[in-house]
Chains A and B, each alone.
Chain A
Amino acid sequence: GAVVSQHPSWVICKSGTSVKIECRSLDFQATTMFWYRQFPKQSLMLMATSNEGSKATYEQGVEKDKFLINHASLTLSTLTVTSAHPEDSSFYICSASRGPVYGYTFGSGTRLTVV
């Protein structure tokens, strides 16, 4: 149980275009999901907390207008990278939880390359 599906696993886009990444909890409801960014050989950096039915809470330094987060249902959160540029190229990971005692389940990640 507690499976989180993330799509796409990799995407290449042209500079200036937008890319949407989906994160789905397949067998449980997640009122809260988290989006991380990870650079090579570095730790996960929390970008934002996605709450079902309300606005996302962004970490300091994360551009809200560039990284749009929507949590439309208890099983789906999306991250849209708007007007992507090469510096947005990175590995993006989502996670979800049924509750703190269960820990967190992570998606398999999305490798974004902006050319």
Chain B
Amino acid sequence: AQTVTQSQPEMSVQEAETVTLSCTYDTSESNYYLFWYKQPPSRQMILVIRQEAYKQQNATENRFSVNFQKAAKSFSLKISDSQLGDTAMYFCAFMLASGGSNYKLTFGKGTLLTVNP
């Protein structure tokens, strides 16, 4: 079974600064996807960024980027130029690339990020 660990229950950052959220995972598989989801106070889950395990290049989406270290099974999220709207719970998630019911997501416990003005 796959597990996802987020070791930082809460973090805070000043507006316009950079923050990095940590995520590690455990799997014996080699083909999988990793995701970061954001859940603001509205509780709507929003996909922030996605990484395919077979890609060595780190994914980026505007101010969001990841540091994917496959050998270390680490998948951290960096948020640059933090904005007040980034305040949310962030969940790291894992999904096997094989088919059928294995398409389900395994979530970490989340990191509550607060961006301070």
The interface of chain A, by Cβ under 8 A from chain B, is 32, 34, 38, 41-44, 46, 49, 57, 91, 93, 95, 97, 100-101, 103-106, 108-109
Contact = CB atoms under 8 A, between A and B. Distances in A.
Interface of B: 33, 35, 37, 42-47, 50, 52, 89, 91, 95, 97, 101, 103-105, 107-110, 112
16 contacts: A34-B105, A42-B109, A43-B91, A44-B91, A44-B105, A49-B104, A91-B43, A100-B33, A100-B95, A100-B103, A101-B33, A101-B52, A103-B33, A103-B50, A106-B45, A109-B43
B107 A44 contact: yes
Looking at A57, A95, A101, A104, the one whose CB has the most chain B CB atoms below 10 A away is A104
A17 B103 CA distance: 33
Given A42-B110, A103-B47, 5 more contacts: A43-B108, A44-B45, A44-B105, A100-B33, A101-B52
Contacts of B50: 103
B47 A100 contact: no
A34 B93 CA distance: 14
B102 to A, nearest CB: 9
Contacts of B97: 100
A106 B35 contact: no
A43 B103 contact: no
Looking at B43, B45, B50, B95, the one whose CB has the most chain A CB atoms below 10 A away is B45
Contacts, number: 51
A15 B35 CA distance: 38
Contact of B109 (A43, A57, A105): A43
Given A32-B103, A103-B50, A108 B110 contact: no
A73 to B, nearest CB: 19
Q: Nearest 6 pairs between A and B by C-beta? A: A106-B45, A43-B109, A43-B107, A108-B44, A103-B47, A109-B43
A101 B42 CA distance: 26
A36 to B, nearest CB: 9
Nearest to B97: A100
Given A43-B91, A44-B91, A109-B43, A104 B109 contact: no
A58 B73 CA distance: 28
